[in-house]
A and B are shown apart, each in its own frame.
Chain A
C-alpha cells in the first residue's frame, strides 16, 4: 500500500511504513527535501513550518497522513509563488539572514501571515511571527522584511 502526497505541486509516493511519520521526516529523510528544518521536535520553534493550502503547519507535529489530498508547499517551492518570491527577495533586501537555519520556517510563517492579511500592522506581525524562534536574533529585520514584502517588495 502506498499513498500520494502533493509537495510543491508534484506528486510524491510514500509507502505505508512512512505515512504515519511526522511530515518533517518524510520530507527530510524519505523525499530528500532538507530545506524544512528540524529544530525542537515539539512544535516550539517553527523551523519545520510548511504551508498546507495557505495555512502554516508545524511539520514535526503532524503525520504525513494528515496532508494526503492537500497541497503542501515547502521552502523549496515557495519561490514558485509570487508572494513567496516577494518575501524571499524582501528577506535579501532587508539583509535579514544570519545563520539562516530558522529562516525557511520564518518565511513560511510570513507567507501564511500575508496570505491571511496582506497588510499586517505591528500587532499582526507579532501575532503571525512569534511562533518561530530565531537564535541569531534577526527579529528586527524580519519585521522590516515582512513590511517590505507587504508593501509590494520595493525598497
Chain B
C-alpha cells in the first residue's frame, strides 16, 4: 500500500534523472504482445491485472485526495482503495484537459467526483462486457469484484488479467451506469490514508528532498524591499567561503551556489548583499491608510438587490461596523525549493506545485522555450495552502539554472520564504445595516476594500470587482430585502495571492461577526437570531446540529464564552462553535464543535481531518497571524514572530457530519473560513469585548 504510492521513490531519485523520469511516468500504453497489460480508461486512469493505476489529475498537499480519489476508482472497479496505485504526474495541460491540474478552491473532489467515477465505471463495463461476451450472457448478470468478473447467479469467474486484451479491443463504453447508492462499499466508509506509511518512515520524497547526480545547491537572497534592486555584494569573500561554487546575480536577486545548503548560507553571509530601496512610502500605516481611503470611495458594484436606500430610510435604526484583516503568510512547513536542469535539449524541473501545468508553461516562457521542451516533475508538497499556486519559485529556479551547467536545487531559507511570500491581502470592510423595530436587518450595504488578486491575474480584463474577494459576501445565509455589495481595489507594494479559505475566509469574518453584533444589539441569542433569518434547510440543519452538539445555551464558568459562525460555500455548509477563555489578557480555545454538510462525505475520516486541520490553521491566523511592513520590508522572519499554534494550544475538536444527499462539496477550505468569526464572537461572549480587527490576540491587547 505504501511503496508504489509515494509518487516517486528515493531509490528512483538516487538512480538519477533518467530513472527518475521513468519512475514518474506511469506507462499507460499497452505492452507489446498479444495480451494487453492495461485497459486504458482515460488519460489518467487504467486498469491492470493487479488493480488500477491513477495519475492524480489534482495534486496532494496534505488534504488527502491521494486517498479520496483512489476510493472513487476503487468503488467502481470493485477494488480496495490500496489496490489503486496512485502517482503524481508531470505538469501537462493537454493530457488532463478539460480538467485543470490546478489544485485550489476546494475543487479536487468537486471537479473529479463525476468524471473519475464515470471513467472507472466505463472501464468496469468494458471488462464486464468482455466476460459477458465470452460467456454468452447479458452483462447485467456479471459484476466486477476484487479483480475478478463474476457471473452473479452462477459460478463462472474470469480474472481481470485475462480480460484486459478483449476489453481493450472493443470500443470503450461511454456512459456506463455508476454503482447505485445502495451498493456503495467504499464511498462513505471511513478510510485511512494510503500515503501514511511512506510519510511516517521518511521515505516520501518532497520537492526539497530531490537529489540528482552532479547537482549543486543554491540559496537565494531577493531584495528585502519589494521593488528594490541588488546594489553591491562582496563576491570575493563569498567565493572564498569553503564549499561555495559560484555566485550569480540578477537585478533584484543574488544566488549563491555551493556543494551544500549550509555552505551556500555561509557564502551568502560573506557576500553581505546591499540593496537599493524603491521610491515611495511603504510603511504599514501608509498601507492601512490606503485601505481606509479605498473604503471611503463608492466602489464597484458586485451585487444590488432591493433598494438599500429605501430600507435605510424606513429603518427603525441603522447599525454599522468596520472590520480589518491583515496580510497573512502561508508559512508551510516545507520552505520554498525547486530543482532545475537546463541542457541544450530543454529543461527538466522537480518541485511541489499546486499548478504543475502552469509551472511548466511559466518556466518555458521564462526560458523562451516551447512547453514541450520543459518537463515538470511534480512532487509531494510539505503543505500548500495557496503558496504553491504561485510559480515564482519555479521561475527563479530556471533563471539560475539557465546560467549554470549542472542541475541546481534552489532553496529558500525560512526567512526568505517568510519575507517573500505572496501574502493574503489585507482588507477593510464596512457593513451598514438598516434594522426594523425588532432588530432584524431589512437591508445592508457591505463595502470591501483590499488588494485584488483577480486584477493581477486578469490584467486589462479586470473590471473593478474581485470575484474572489466578494465570495461569501454576496450570497449570505440570511434573508435581506435589500442587499448591496461593493469592492474597491487598493494595492500596495506587497504582493498578494490566494490563502486557504480565499474569499470565503475574509468575508465570513465580516458577515458572521456583524450578524453576531446585530443579535446582541437586539438582545437576542446569537444562534436563535441566526435561525430566525435563515431560509435554507441545509444551513438551518447545520446550525441546529452544531448548537446541539456544543451544548449551546448551557452555562459556562466565568471567563469562558461560546461563539458561532456559519458559511455556505464550495458546495458545503459548515457551522462552528468555539469555546474561548479570556483571562489575563490572553485568549485560549479549549473546545471546537463542527457540524458540516459537505454533501456526500466520500471519506468521513478525511472530512474530519480537514475539519481539524482547518480549525487549527484558522486559529493560528485568527489569534496571531499578521504580516507587517516597515521600511518596505516584511518585519516577520520565522515562527517566533509569525506564530502558529502548537499542540498544547490546539483545542479538542469534535466533527459531526450531517447526512446529505447532495453531491460532494469542498472540504479543504470551509473549516478554516469560519474560525475567526466564531472566535471573535466567543471572545465577546466571554469578555464583553467586541474585537473587529484581526489578529485577535493583538486586538485584545490594544483594548485591555
Contacts and interface: CB of A to CB of B under 8 A. Distances in A.
Q: Do A and B bind each other?
A: yes
Interface of A: 17-18, 21-22, 25, 28-30, 32-42, 44-45, 47, 74-76, 78-79, 88, 91-93, 95-104, 107, 125-127, 129-143
A104 B197 CA distance: 11
A94 B527 CA distance: 34
B64 interface: yes
A18 B201 CA distance: 26
Given A45-B639, A88-B201, A126-B648, A101 B333 contact: yes
23 contacts: A25-B261, A25-B262, A29-B217, A29-B259, A34-B208, A36-B202, A37-B333, A38-B335, A44-B638, A45-B639, A76-B201, A95-B193, A96-B196, A98-B63, A127-B648, A131-B646, A132-B647, A133-B644, A135-B332, A136-B613, A138-B609, A139-B646, A141-B609
Contacts of B609: 95, 98, 138, 141
B414 A40 contact: yes
Given A42-B640, A129-B647, A135-B617, A103 B200 contact: yes
B154 to A, nearest CB: 39
B601 interface: no
A96 B211 CA distance: 27
Given A38-B261, A88-B197, A136-B62, A104 B640 contact: no
Contact of A99 (B201, B242, B262, B382): B382
B192 A92 contact: yes
Contacts of A18: 260
Interface string B99-140: 000000000000000000000000000000000000000000
Given A17-B242, A30-B260, A38-B208, A92 B197 contact: yes
Contacts of A33: 202
B10 interface: yes
Given A38-B261, A39-B414, A140-B652, A100 B201 contact: no
Contacts of A93: 192
Given A17-B242, A135-B331, 6 more contacts: A37-B382, A39-B334, A74-B202, A139-B612, A140-B652, A141-B609
B390 to A, nearest CB: 17
Most buried by B among A101, A127, A129: A101
Contacts of A143: 647
B639 A133 contact: yes
Contacts of B259: 29
Contacts of A136: 62, 333, 383, 613, 617
Given A99-B382, A100-B200, A29 B646 contact: no
Would you call the interface of chain A mostly helix, strand, loop, or mixed? loop
B200 A130 contact: no
B203 interface: yes
Given A95-B193, A141-B609, A135 B262 contact: no
B638 to A, nearest CB: 5
B211 A99 contact: no
A27 to B, nearest CB: 11
Contacts, number: 186
Q: Which 3 A-B pairs have the closest CB atoms?
A: A35-B202, A137-B616, A101-B382
Contact of B383 (A131, A135, A141): A135
A117 to B, nearest CB: 16
A102 B333 contact: yes
A144 to B, nearest CB: 11
Interface string B260-281: 1111000000000000000000
B466 interface: no
Contacts of A92: 192, 196-197, 200
Contacts of A25: 260-262
A143 B413 CA distance: 30
B262 A130 contact: no
A47 B333 contact: yes
B505 to A, nearest CB: 15
Contact of B647 (A76, A103, A142): A142
B487 interface: no
A92 B203 CA distance: 14
Contacts of A79: 201
B456 interface: no
B158 interface: no
Contacts of B380: 99-100
B625 to A, nearest CB: 12
A100 B64 contact: no
Given A40-B638, A92-B196, A139-B647, A29 B382 contact: no
